């Protein structure tokens, strides 16, 4: 019986210590004032409705970042790979509405995203309704369908 109690105590202690180990710090700045690590933003002051989940390294977004509609469904997904960004937009029912690529221009005053390359736009049945080619700062060249806003 004593061995079971000791084992139970050690098991409980390991759970508590591992929980502390895996606890991540959120929304942190480094000494230079740059965002680092996991960042979570909220749509409400009670921090119940998540607006976005982003990952930063040295003030720049990295990896996969997600943004949400007020109903909690995925609205936008960025996948960062070096200078390329894969982008997907979703409606409030989490159906894909458009996808393509973007580039990020980071200046001292602002961060600006430009759509680049081929973008596909979908209807509610996931059929392609239009395709357009984008270049930084230029109007899109529509290949199929109507230009999108």
**Residue 54: CA count within 13 A, CB half-sphere:** 20
User: pLDDT tens across 90-136, in order?
Assistant: 999 999 999 999 998 877 788 788 999 999 999 989 999 999 999 98
Q: What is the pTM of this model?
A: 0.76
Find the helix or strand (DSSP H, E) in which 21 lies: helix 2-22
Q: With residue 122 as reference, give the H or E element that holds it.
A: strand 111-122
What are the CB-based long-range contacts (under 8 Å, 24+) for 62-69?
A: 68/43
> pLDDT tens across 1-37, in order?
555 554 444 445 454 444 444 556 899 999 999 999 9
Range scoring the smallest mean pLDDT among 85-89, 101-105, 119-123, 141-145: 141-145
């Amino acid at each position: 019986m004593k061995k079971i109690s000791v084992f139970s105590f050690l098991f409980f202690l390991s759970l508590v210590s591992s929980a502390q180990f895996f606890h991540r710090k959120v929304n942190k700045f480094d000494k230079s004032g740059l965002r680092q690590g996991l960042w979570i933003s909220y749509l409400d002051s009670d921090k119940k409705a998540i607006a976005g989940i982003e990952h930063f390294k040295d003030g720049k977004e990295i990896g996969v970042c997600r943004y949400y509609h007020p109903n909690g469904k995925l609205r936008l997904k960025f996948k960062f790979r070096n200078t390329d960004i894969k982008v997907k937009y979703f409606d409030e029912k989490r159906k894909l509405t458009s996808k393509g690529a973007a580039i990020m221009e980071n200046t001292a005053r602002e961060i600006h995203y430009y759509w680049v390359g081929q973008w596909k736009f979908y209807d509610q049945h996931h059929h392609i309704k239009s395709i357009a080619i984008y270049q930084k700062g230029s109007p899109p060249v529509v290949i199929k369908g109507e230009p999108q806003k």
